[in-house]
Structure 1
Amino acid sequence: MLKNVKWFFVVLVFSSLISLSFDKRNTPTEKLPVGAQAPELVLGNEKQPLSLQASKGNYILLSLWASYDAASRTSNARLHHVVSDDARVEMISISFDRYPSVFRTAVKQDGINDNVYQEMEGENSEIFKSYDLKHGFINCLVDDRGVIVAKNVSPSELASLLHTAKG
């Protein structure tokens, strides 16, 4: 009798695990997949949105980062140096640092001087919410129609994408 109960329990656990693997509610959905329209960028302290419209055939590289997140800060700095040599890409860099002194120090140390903004509202900002940054900071390559064509690109991937687009 005890042997039958053990097998019943094993079958019950196994079937539960299988049914959970097919449950669609557990499948994470990406809020902004490649091919989606990039949400508008309005900084908390600004009234006018930042434009994500590149000139014909060009791109905007949007980098969302913070100095307290070493990976996003490093990526932002490295991407900035790749993009600074390519006229087809304009980079918009938005930091979610709450303190201006921390933001200014990071920008100076990283050598970033063009199109860099601070979103002082941090996690409460509309940009943070619309780009679904609760799981980490991202970068997006946006085409001249405002469509996301690549996400979380490394400097080498960006160089490859731009080389492919050129040819």
Structure 2
Amino acid sequence: MKNLKSVGAVLLLFLMLSFANTNEPKVGIKVGQKAPIFQVGDTIDGHFDLKAEKGKFVILNFWAGYDAQSRVSNVKIQSAIDKLEAHDNIRFVSVSFDMNENVYRESVRLDGLSESTHYYDKNGEKSQIFRDFRLQKGFGNYLINPKGVIIAKNFSPEKLTQLIRQ
């Protein structure tokens, strides 16, 4: 009987702790959730680590040269960012999922994109980043706040300008 009470007390404590509200958003891809942490290398200008950007807003965009919708969106978002006043606490990151690095580099060159903000994931649609963000045709974009929480998703360049100026 004594062991049964001990087991019951432990189970009760476990249940109470499992339902405790930590006020920490869970990791996911929805607005209000923490963005999945990732790193990407093999770039024109170094590598990117989302974890290292804590304390900054991050505009995260996914695209590929072979996906016309995502490529056009990438150019428009880059253009909108170029028109904004300089902000030290905002980081733009664009990840390409082209399977061929030459296609990626040529797309960056032809589209007049900044090499310092564009990164290449050589694993393409088979990459962990692609899976973590559950990307599909047309890919997408995210605005992540300084705490790593997604505050907007799949926004237009015009909406981005409004969000940044708030």
Residues 71/40 of structure 1: CA separation in 2 closer, same or farther (3 Å cut): same
2:73 to 72, 75, 79: 75
What secondary structure sits across from 2:91 in the alignment?
strand
The yes-or-no answer on 1:104 pairing with 2:105 is yes
Name the amino acid aligned to 1:83. Answer: I
What secondary structure sits across from 2:125 in the alignment?
helix
Give the CA RMSD over aligned residues. 2.2
Q: How many residues align?
A: 132
Q: Which whole-Å deviations, capped at 9, do the CAs of 1:140-165 have from their partners, x for residues lacking one?
A: 0001011100000111000111222x
Structure 1 match to 2:153: 151
The question of whether the paired residues in 1 share the 8 Å contact of 2:41 and 2:120 is answered with: no
Structure 1 match to 2:39: 42
Residues 44/129 of structure 1: CA separation in 2 closer, same or farther (3 Å cut): farther
Structure 1 match to 2:62: 64
Structure 1 match to 2:50: 51
What secondary structure sits across from 1:133 in the alignment?
coil
Alpha-carbon distance in structure 2 between the residues aligned to 1:104 and 1:45: 11
Q: CA deviation at 1:89?
A: 2.3
Name the amino acid aligned to 1:117. Answer: Y
Alpha-carbon distance in structure 1 between the residues aligned to 2:54 and 2:69: 30
The two structures have a TM-score, normalised by structure 2, of 0.71
The two structures have a TM-score, normalised by structure 1, of 0.71
In structure 1, the gaps of 5 or more residues are: 1-30
The question of whether the paired residues in 2 share the 8 Å contact of 1:60 and 1:90 is answered with: yes
Alpha-carbon distance in structure 1 between the residues aligned to 2:91 and 2:144: 10
Q: CA deviation at 1:101?
A: 1.0
Structure 2 match to 1:116: 118
Q: Which whole-Å deviations, capped at 9, do the CAs of 1:87-107 have from their partners, x for residues lacking one?
A: 242111100001111001110
List aligned pairs for 1:137-148, cutoff 5 A: 137-148=139-150
Name the amino acid aligned to 1:38. Answer: A
Q: Which stretch shifts more, 66-75 or 35-44?
A: 35-44
